[in-house]
Amino acid sequence: MKICRVYIESIPGSPYSQSAQHEDPKLDRESHEDYDIRTWRSKCTTNGGGQVCVPAMALKQCIDLAAQKLGEKVPGRRGAT
């Protein structure tokens, strides 16, 4: 098994969201933005210590999509991208 250590830096203006469902009710006259600010912790995946974690499959799918969009040729494999 190979172990890779990466450092992820977000692009300003593009927050990470897992869009998980939760049961927190919306308060009276609360805007959607205020609701998101109040309940964002309920949507996150966390570890035992309460730290927010990015699921491994989310990283894998991100790498797959980036490779697909780059469309670079694989050396020695004819037209494979």
pLDDT tens digits along 48-58: 887 878 888 88
Reported as type and span, the H/E element at residue 60 is helix 56-70
Q: What is the pLDDT of residues 8-64, one digit of tens each?
A: 776 776 666 666 667 888 899 999 889 888 887 777 888 888 787 888 888 888 888
Q: Structure pTM?
A: 0.50
Of 14, 22, 20, 15, the C-alpha closest to 55 is 20
